[in-house]
Amino acid sequence: MIAIEFILAGMLAAATPFLLAALGELVAERSGVLNLGVEGMMALGASVGFITVYSGGGHVMGFVFGALSGMALALVFAFVTLGLHTNQVASGLAIGIMGLGLSAYFGKPFESFTVTGLGKIAIPGLSDFPVIGGLFRQDIVVWLSLIFTPALWYVLKHTKLGLLLRAVGENPHAASAIGYPVILIRLSAVAFGGLMAGIAGAYASTIYTPLWADGMIAGRGWIAVALVVFGTWMVGRVFLGACLFGAVSLGGIAAQTVGLAVPSQLLASMPYIVTIVVLGIISSNRRLVKLNGIASLGEPFEK
Amino acid sequence: MTEPLLSLRGVTKRYGPVHANTGVDLDVRAGEIHAILGENGAGKSTLMKLIYGVETPDEGTIAWQGELTQIGSPASARRLGIGMVFQHFSLFETLTVVENVSLLVPGTKKALTKRIVQLGQEFGLEVDPLAYVYALSVGERQRVEIIRCLMADPKLLILDEPTSVLPPQSVELLFDTLRRLSARGVAILFISHKLEEIRSICTHATILRGGTVTGNVTPQDFDAHALATMMIGRDMPHLSPAEAVQRGANQLEISGLTLGTDDPFGVSLKNIFMHVAEGEILGIAGVSGNGQSELAAAISGETALPKSMRDVIAMLGQDVGAMNPATRRKLGFAFVPEDRLGQGAVPELSLVKNSILTAHRHGMVKKGMIRHGRAAAFAKACIAQNDVRTPGPAAEAGSLSGGNLQKFIIGRELMLAPKLLFLNQPTWGVDIGAATAIRRRLIELRNAGCAILVISEELEELFELTDYMQVLSEGRLSPRFKTSETVPEDIGRAMIGAGEGAA
């Protein structure tokens, strides 16, 4: 019972870095660009955000600078892939590694330092319930993410902007033929993706675990990329996926505290194992993947 | 006479040393259905691109409603009131009809939906505005394209080979729409190489050959033969009529093939029966997207059949359900796929290397090493025998024109002396001269005793070529028609009827 309470209370916060980065990547992929540099963009956002908060800039500025640094790296990626038509996979990997390197370089003087996180905002009444009460005591960023997720869904599903994004992702040549600026739309989508990755990183380093350690992102950017596919490019499913991974990663800790005789390394690898299993199950439904999939994903566009 | 809506004078367009259009004059008046008639490569597409603002002319002038103008982009063409329906549609498959329209036309979804329905009723262009494009038939997609143009209230509508993708019944519907538009005063430019259609609907025809205008006629005043002579500059080549050949053994037999698909854009095959005997050409008619690709992949061996279906395909006397394409080829089966660049040939490789891909068994490989001399000799012979126009066997496949590459690919397969030959859309996008040459070679091969199966969208081609026909519609195959005792209307009915279940 305590384990369940623990998981419910922490699940959303654990899911938030996954969720924010994955939603950014979803937008980029919807436009037809596969950005594999998310891990590096998160790491850079995490170190820049942490340094800002540690230096007394406050959390708001931490997020602003974290977001801008993620976006800056995404713009480098956009320049080489969209401007110079390089291979998106190779460029994404290279720029991701560059982001990890930069974050380590900037973060070196701050290794193992800590900052103060943010307090939780509880919903009166609901948060007093036994067991599930913890679900309603979250920090401000979690609450904002919960508002942002359906808003993004609405934009993608019901606005001209979302329509345009889908059109560019499916058939950039046709979109260009009827007069839309394909490159500019893709550039904006990638920039948005980097911005979200930066915010996700800053959340991880200044609120979720408010300390800086090199390598602290620990593959969360990769999980975010996987989540987008796992969610078949649909916002609702990406949200559910993020919650699942949040819950599984807490499950590992919970299992250790109740003294389950399972090696901690196995528990720590659970989220990744679950990723692979779930990806396999989802991808076996070819119909779903093809209907929601993005026809031009990863292909460079030249007029 | 009224003043022309659109008037071209001395329009010339060059691509390097190639003159695509030379000194073209063209007048189009309101309410006229004006055909641009010409073979592939005669400069029709270039001319349309100049009018729609995709390209700009090197010389000459374009006047719109009496005023000289420059059409710099498709957007400025649309502003003038020029709309274009492309041969290969520019629709987004994963979006709905109304979403597709809304990307080009301002307005709320609700208002657009209403107008789509309204225009549909007015011009016989009925289509469900909320349907997803991938679920629509080719004819419906064309209607969406036309509606999208009509939304902007055009004065001139350009249609590029609009009937090449339609079954006969839809062609009549389209013509009905065009007549209604012309009655409203909309001018229509109708690009085609199909003579009978032009005679039945167009009020004027401008004939292009080699980039210059060779005729400006009223099509009803000439018969198809005379129009064809103007179009290709010499008499129409005639096919030797198919001689009756002694019926031989079945070289291909499919008995009850049912094959599902997990591709949402694909078509399931339902209880397919067919057979092709020695010395016989069987044609599969029908509009693309009714299971053609799925059937082709099952016959070629690209699709691995489920265990229960392993014994329904026999080829050259053997069950081939469990064999892959290479093993089937070893038996004496040859296959010319629909997609020339990618399946039929590797565009980046030379013609010599492309020969090795399917002809390697003919002495080109020894102990795993390629014998380049033999391969080169093969490619050279193939080029010579099939009148392939190319600098030589070292040319990259992708550098050949569609017609020449197709002649090479078919020639390559013919040189393997197949006992069973299967061709998918053999003359798609091939000019009339090359197409006739290809058909003539197929008839020769059939007379020599080969069993030939042809999938084609071109009904005229099937009527010229085949002994028997079957119609593929929504994954179902009709019973056999004997070509000599069949008229196009029968086939047209089967294109619809076969889809209505096993009635």
Q: What is the CATH number of the domain that holds A103?
A: 1.10.3470
Contact yes or no for B93 and A291 at CB 8 A = no
> Which of A182, A284, A290, A297 is the best substitution to test chain B (most B C-beta atoms within 10 A)?
A290
Tens of pLDDT along A229-285?
A: 888 899 998 999 899 888 888 888 888 777 777 787 888 788 778 877 877 787 677
Smallest CA–CA distance from B262 into chain A, residue: A287
Q: How many CB atoms lie within 10 A of CB A155?
A: 15
Instruction: Quick: pLDDT tens for B25-48.
Output: 999 999 999 999 887 667 888 898
- Amino acid occupying residue B227: L
Which residue of chain A is at minimal alpha-carbon distance from B76? A179
Q: Is the dihedral of CA A12, A14, A15, A16 positive or negative?
A: positive
Return the minimum-mean-pLDDT range out of A67-76, A87-96, A249-258, B278-287. Answer: A249-258
pLDDT-derived band at B501 (thresholds 50, 70, 90) equals very low
Q: What is the pLDDT of residue B112?
A: 93
Q: Give φ, ψ of B47 to 5 degrees.
A: -60, -40
Q: Kindly state whether residue A225 falls inside one of the protein's structural domains.
A: yes
CA B407 to chain centre: 16
CA distance B474 to B269: 8
* Cβ–Cβ < 8 Å for B146, B85: yes
Domain boundaries, chain B: 6-232, 250-496
Q: Residue A167: its chain B contacts at CB < 8 A? A: 92, 95, 103
Distance CA A181, CA B90 (A): 16
Give a yes or no: residue A128 inside a domain.
Answer: no
Residue A121, domain member (yes or no) = no
Nearest to B219 by CA among B230, B203, B232, B234: B203
Written as six digits, the tokens of A237 are 């499913």
Q: Are B6-232 and B250-496 equal in CATH topology?
A: yes
Mean pLDDT value across residues B101-123: 89
What gap in Å lies between CA B31 and CA B177, rounded to an integer?
13
Fold of the B6-232 domain:
Rossmann fold (3.40.50)
Pairing of strands B365-366, B369-370: antiparallel
Asked whether residue B291 carries a pLDDT value surpassing 50, the answer given is yes
Interface test with B, best of A171, A233, A297 (most B CBs within 10 A): A171
A interface residues, B as partner, C-beta within 8 Å = 160, 163-164, 166-167, 170-171, 173-175, 177-180, 286-287, 290-291, 295
Domain assignment present for residue A179? The answer is yes
> Of B303, B306, B301, B296, which Cα lies nearest the Cα of B328?
B301
CA separation for the pair B406, B426 (Å, rounded): 7
Question: Residues of chain B with pLDDT > 70: what percent?
Answer: 93
The CATH code that applies to domain B250-496 is 3.40.50.300
pLDDT computed for residue B1 by the predictor: 57
Alpha helices (H) along B72-214: 74-80, 97-102, 109-123, 138-150, 168-183, 195-201
Per-residue pLDDT tens over the stretch B436-474: 888 888 998 998 889 999 998 888 888 888 999 999 988
The letter for the amino acid at A165 is L
Which of B102, B103, B265 is most worth mutating to test chain A (most A CB atoms within 10 A of its CB)? B103
pLDDT of residue A198: 98
Share of chain A above pLDDT 90, in %: 65
Q: What is the DSSP letter of B442?
A: H
Query: Does the residue A212 lie in any domain?
Result: yes
State the total domains in chain A: 1
Continuous segment of H or E residues that includes residue A77: helix A58-78
Instruction: Decide if A129 is inside a domain.
Output: no
Q: How many CB atoms lie within 10 A of CB B353?
A: 20
Print the domain residue range for A24. 2-114+135-292
- Maximum C-alpha span of chain B: 77
Q: Residue A167's closest chain B neighbor by CA?
A: B92
Q: Which residues contact A165 (CB under 8 A, 6 or more apart)?
A: A27, A30, A31, A156, A185, A189
Contact B447, B276 (CB under 8 A): no
Query: What is the reported pLDDT for B234?
Result: 67
CB contact under 8 A, B90 and A163: no
Residue type, A150: P
B34's tokens: 């004006």
What's the CA gap between B489 and B494, in Å, rounded?
Answer: 9
Residue B219 tokens, joined = 């099509």
Secondary structure element (H or E) that encloses residue B402, with its range: helix B402-414
Question: Rounded to the nearest 10 degrees, how much is the dihedral formed by the CA atoms of B469, B475, B478, B483?
Answer: -10
CB B297 within 8 A of CB B338: no
Pairwise CA distance, residues B221 & B57, whole Å = 32
Q: Which two tokens stand for residue B238?
A: 């005639």
Mean pLDDT of B308-323: 89
Per-residue model confidence (pLDDT) at position B503: 32
A287/B90 touch (CB, cutoff 8 Å), yes or no: no
Contact (CB, 8 A) for A222 and A18: no
**pLDDT value, residue B8:** 93
Q: Determine contact, residues B342/B397, Cβ cutoff 8 Å.
A: no
Tokens of B179: 């007549």
Give B374-411 pLDDT, tens digit per residue: 899 999 999 988 888 888 888 888 878 777 888 899 99
